[in-house]
Amino acid sequence: MRSYHGIRPRGVTVQRTEIDALLDAAPPFLRLWLLLCSDLAIRSGTAARLGPDQYDSAEQILRFTTKRQARLTLPVTAEIAAMLKTCDLSNPVSFVRQLWMQKPSQHGRRPNPNATSADRLRVLFRKLCIQIGITRRITLHDLRRTTAVGMLRLTHDVRDVQAILGHRSLQSTIWYLDHDLRPVPRHNLELIKRSKPETKEHTA
C-alpha cells in the first residue's frame, strides 16, 4: 500500500459568492477557463489546452488525458456547452485561445500567442481577484478542490470524487480530501454492534 508523506495538501475552498464574482467580471476566454476548472474540476493547465479534438458536441462530452496520463470522460455543464457553441469546432486551436482571439484587438496590435498559456492565465486570474476585491490567496487548484468537496458532500461517495478528479488511485483522492472527511458518528458504531451479520447459505 502506498504511503503519502510530506506537506499536506491545501485545505482551501472557494465560496460560491467568490466564484460568481470572478465569473461575472471575467472576459469570455478567462470565464471559460475558470468554468472548466470550477464546474468540471479540471487542472488549470489541462483546461487551457482543451480543444475541439477532445469535445463531442453531439453528446456534450469532453474526453482527454489527464496530467497523470489517465483517460477521463466528463459531461460539460450547460454554461460550458453554450460557450463552446461559439467556438469553431473545425479549428484545432484550444477553446480558450479561440475565445481570446475573438476579443477586440487593442490599438491594432497582433495577438500575443502566449496570452493563453496556463501561466499567463494564472497571472490574469490573480489580477482579476484583486480587481473584484478578493484579498485572500486563492489558486485555480482551490476551484478544483471546491468542486471535489462539493461532490463529496452531495453524493457522500468518495468514488464519485475520484471519477471527477481523474485519480487512478482511491488513496490519492482520500489524501486530497482528508481535511473534509466527516467524523465517525457514535450512533453508527452502536448500530454496527447491534446488527446481525448476514449469513450466506452454503450449497453442496
- 3 lies in a domain? no
Going by C-alpha positions, the residue among 137, 133, 122, 131 that lies closest to residue 14 is 137
Q: Could you give the percent of the chain with pLDDT greater than 90?
A: 59
Calpha distance 162→171 (Å, rounded): 9
CATH number of domain containing 187: 1.10.443.10
- 86 lies in a domain? yes
Structure confidence at residue 199 (pLDDT): 56
pTM: 0.82
Phi and psi angles of residue 169, each rounded to the nearest 5 degrees, phi first: -105, 135
- 1 lies in a domain? no
C-alpha cell of 10? Answer: 491545501
Helix, strand, or coil (residue 22): helix
Instruction: Read off the pLDDT of residues 7-21 as tens digits, 9 standing for 90 and up.
Output: 556 778 899 999 999
- 8 lies in a domain? no
- 152 lies in a domain? yes
- 202 lies in a domain? no
- 72 lies in a domain? yes
Total domains, the chain: 1
The whole domain housing 87 covers 16-105+113-194
Q: What is the mean pLDDT of residues 185-198?
A: 72
- 9 lies in a domain? no
Q: Which of 102-111, 127-136, 143-152, 168-177 has the highest mean pLDDT?
A: 127-136
